[in-house]
């Protein structure tokens, strides 16, 4: 009986082919499962977010949550006895200092107060498990919005986009901090109404929202508003006119479809320059209008943020303007646009890269 080697070869080839196909399907299935989080341990995302609510959002995570709580508590205690030293240790914490280094700094600073019973009691309380559990529910900031996951994302993006934000602010002739005072309101409003999108899309990808009903881009700009901003730049008779030097700052190339290009400018997620620029120009024009009427609001982030939300029509110069705008809920606290703009401006958040300019 002869052996049909060709038949055996064909069978072997089919077996190998099917085998590789099955292996390929397994790899593809695993890839998509990882992408969509089907392999995640239940509750891992919420646990991670709770952890980052305890430690400063910009600080690399530690594996020992209890130790981090203890260190934060001890820095807080030290602030009552040696404020300047506690500030230096806090900077080390924010800068990513390791637990071992922070502990050594605290121990060294504590030597002066070893005979102080009140100091020793407060420090011992930091090691108390019951006190530590209570600390879990203690805010890490004076502002509810600054304790939020949404702000952690914004903070990371604003830091990453420092160069483009600074350039846009310089070109608009305004403080970048004032620009952000308006932009954060738009971001909080969007994320507040689309919590699931924030958790499943924007937070993992580390990007800001760029579309919200009739407002577009990360700055929440309406094409009609952008058109008014552009018209005010050219109209020397407008109360919002900024002068000859600013007339051509947003000019379009000859022959371009202006409306289409305008939309492209404010929705470009890869290059948000124009979003920040138009936000800055809007505020500059509002400031110019009020200054011409005899009122200076260039150092009033709460008013500029309010009017950024309400629009040109509601900008009526007066002696005692009110803070307000759309109400936004962040961390179970209600804010208006003006509230958020004011608190952010004076909070000290990101002041290392966007200084607070008080005139």
pLDDT digits (tens, 9 = 90+) for 109-122: 999 998 999 999 88
Q: How confident is the model at residue 15 (pLDDT cuts 50, 70, 90)?
A: low
Q: Are 282 and 229 in contact (CB under 8 A)?
A: yes
Residue 191 has pLDDT above 90, yes or no: no
pLDDT of residue 72: 84
Q: Are 71 and 123 in contact (CB under 8 A)?
A: no
pLDDT of residue 97: 79
Q: Are 69 and 102 in contact (CB under 8 A)?
A: no
The pairing of beta strand 215-216 with beta strand 211-212: antiparallel
Examine the domain organization and report whether 91 and 228 are in the same domain: no
The first and second tokens of residue 342, run together, are: 């004011």
Examine the domain organization and report whether 90 and 223 are in the same domain: no
CA 166 from centre of chain: 16
CA 61 from centre of chain: 18
- What is the rounded distance in angstroms from the CA atom of residue 145 to the CA atom of residue 194? 16
- What is the rounded distance in angstroms from the CA atom of residue 127 to the CA atom of residue 238? 64
Lowest mean pLDDT among 7-16, 58-67, 296-305, 323-332: 58-67
The first and second tokens of residue 141, run together, are: 């900031």
Q: Phi and psi dihedrals of 327, rounded to 5? A: -85, 130
Whether 116 is in a domain gets the answer yes
Determine the average pLDDT of the residues in 161-167.
Answer: 97
Looking at 72, 100, 135, the residue that finishes a domain is 135
Whether 357 is in a domain gets the answer no
Determine the average pLDDT of the residues in 167-185.
Answer: 97
Determine the average pLDDT of the residues in 19-36.
Answer: 47
Q: How confident is the model at residue 292 (pLDDT cuts 50, 70, 90)?
A: very high
- What is the rounded distance in angstroms from the CA atom of residue 19 to the CA atom of residue 320? 77
Whether 270 is in a domain gets the answer yes
Examine the domain organization and report whether 127 and 190 are in the same domain: no
Looking at 86, 115, 135, the residue that finishes a domain is 135
Examine the domain organization and report whether 223 and 260 are in the same domain: yes
Determine the average pLDDT of the residues in 75-92.
Answer: 87
Looking at 106, 135, 164, the residue that finishes a domain is 135
pLDDT of residue 195: 67
- What is the rounded distance in angstroms from the CA atom of residue 307 to the CA atom of residue 301? 10
Q: Are 143 and 339 in contact (CB under 8 A)?
A: no
Q: How confident is the model at residue 244 (pLDDT cuts 50, 70, 90)?
A: very high
Whether 9 is in a domain gets the answer yes
Examine the domain organization and report whether 112 and 164 are in the same domain: no
Residues 6+ positions from 121 with CB-CB distance below 8 Å: none
Judge residue 156's burial from the number of C-beta atoms within 10 Å of its C-beta, 0-12 exposed, 13-18 middle, 19 or more buried: middle
pLDDT of residue 52: 26
Task: Provide the number of structural domains found in the chain.
Answer: 3
Residue-averaged pLDDT of the chain: 81
pLDDT of residue 327: 94
Which residue shows structure tokens 């400063």?
56
Among 267, 271, 299, 295, which residue's Cα sits nearest to residue 283?
299
Three-state SS at 124: helix
Whether 128 is in a domain gets the answer yes
Whether 355 is in a domain gets the answer no
Residue 140 has pLDDT above 70, yes or no: no
Range of the domain at 154: 145-347
Residue 26 has pLDDT above 80, yes or no: no
pLDDT of residue 133: 53
């Amino acid at each position: 009986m002869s052996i049909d080697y060709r038949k055996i070869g064909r069978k072997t080839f089919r077996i190998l082919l099917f085998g590789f196909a099955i292996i390929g399907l397994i790899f593809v299935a695993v890839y998509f499962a990882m992408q969509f989080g089907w392999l995640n341990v239940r509750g891992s995302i919420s646990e991670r977010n709770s952890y980052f609510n305890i430690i400063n959002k910009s600080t690399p995570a530690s594996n020992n949550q209890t130790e981090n709580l203890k260190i934060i508590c001890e820095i807080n205690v030290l602030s009552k006895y040696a404020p300047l030293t506690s500030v230096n240790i806090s900077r080390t914490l924010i800068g990513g200092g390791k637990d071992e280094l922070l502990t050594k700094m605290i121990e060294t600073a504590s030597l002066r107060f070893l005979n102080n019973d009140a100091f020793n009691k407060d420090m011992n309380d930091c090691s108390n498990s019951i006190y530590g559990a209570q600390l879990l529910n203690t805010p890490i900031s004076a502002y509810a919005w600054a304790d939020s996951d949404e702000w952690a994302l914004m903070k990371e993006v604003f830091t990453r986009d420092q160069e483009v934000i600074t350039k846009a602010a310089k070109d608009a002739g305004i403080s970048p901090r004032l620009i952000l005072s308006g932009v954060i309101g738009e971001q909080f409003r969007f994320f507040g109404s689309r919590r699931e999108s924030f958790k499943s899309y924007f937070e993992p990808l580390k990007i800001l929202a760029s579309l919200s009903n009739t407002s577009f881009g990360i700055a929440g700009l309406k094409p009609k508003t952008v058109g008014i901003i552009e018209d005010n730049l050219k109209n020397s008779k407008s109360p919002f006119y900024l002068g000859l030097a600013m007339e051509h700052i947003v000019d379009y190339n000859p022959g371009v479809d202006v409306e289409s290009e305008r939309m492209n400018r404010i929705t470009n997620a890869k290059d948000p320059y124009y979003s920040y620029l138009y936000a800055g120009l809007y505020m500059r024009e509002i400031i110019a209008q009020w200054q011409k009427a005899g009122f200076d609001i260039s150092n009033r982030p709460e008013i500029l943020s309010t009017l950024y939300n309400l629009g040109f029509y509601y900008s009526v110069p007066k002696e005692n303007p009110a803070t307000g705008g759309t109400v936004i809920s962040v961390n179970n606290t209600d804010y208006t646009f003006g509230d958020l703009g004011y608190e952010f401006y004076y909070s000290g958040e990101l002041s290392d890269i966007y200084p607070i300019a008080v005139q």
